[in-house]
Amino acid sequence: MGLEGKVAVVTGAGRNVGAAIAARMVRDGAKVAVVDLDEARARATVEKINAETPGAAEKFLCDVADKDSVATTMEAIADHFGRIDILVNNVAITDRGATVLDLDEDEWARVLQVTLTSVFLCTKYAGRKMAAGGRGGAVVNIGSTSGYRARPNALAYPAAKAAVINMTRSMAAQLAPHGIRVNSVTPNKVGSPVGHDEEPENRPRKNMLGRGCRPEDIAGAVAYMVSDDAGFVTSTDLVVDGGVLYGVMD
């Protein structure tokens, strides 16, 4: 996708979708900042990438729900690579099983902080670097079909993802004067469930294409959205779900 000379920041890049996006950014020519709270996972992603493309990736440990941690991390990334051109807000956590009648308030707040507020914080501090650089940039926020539909087994996560999708549009309007495009990519049940390292073999899926969504499917969509091929695309949600959301299913 012609990302030579660019620097991409990917949050939650220690596993699953984030790791696939980081690897794809490098294959398309970018350098990548692998941002994660888990040092071992971040190191594993960096080592795998650098084994194929030496020096292309560097790990940065960050709590994306904490403004001081985010501000410090974006400063460190810009100092290390000299610039920031691309931001992929991928990190998320979820709630499972509880309803509005019994979901703990602290869990509600934590899911929104990590899944929603992190998008605001990372875009704020990475966006400042992009704007100051004067070269424009691209931000992609990872949504979810949960942001469009009811979830009987979750409440905070679908609320957060719905907000991410709409916040993307306001960010696009606000950052357009700086030449920064902002879009979202919305998967459905991609790779391992949120918060898990492995995908259950019997994970139920129903879509038009008859297979599960792979992390590489989302990485490819993100690669397009940050490339010059999508240079006139902003404030858009690209749904990559095999036809689940808007398809007609039996």
Q: How far apart are CA 241 and CA 245, in angstroms?
A: 7
DSSP-derived secondary structure letter, 121: H
What is the rounded CA–CA span in Å between residue 231 and residue 97? 41
Q: What values do phi and psi take at 240, rounded to 5?
A: -125, 80
Q: What DSSP letter does each residue of 47-101 carry, written as one string? A: HHHHHHSTTSEEEEE--TT-HHHHHHHHHHHHHHHS---EEEE-------S--TT
What is the arrangement of strands in the sheet containing 7-11, beginning at the earlier edge strand? Answer: 57-61, 31-36, 7-11, 86-89, 137-142, 180-187, 237-240
- Residue 224 is among the residues annotated as catalytic for this protein: no
* Residue 98 φ then ψ, to 5°: -80, 160
Residue 100: how many other CB atoms lie within 10 Å: 8
Q: Which amino acid is at 51?
A: A
- The single residue of 125, 148, 157, 246 carrying the catalytic annotation is 157
* C-alpha to C-alpha distance for 244 and 16, rounded to whole angstroms: 21
Main-chain phi, psi angles of 12, to 5 degrees: 60, 35
The four Cα atoms 137, 140, 141, 144 give a dihedral, to 10 degrees, of 170
Instruction: Indicate which residues carry an active-site annotation.
Output: 157
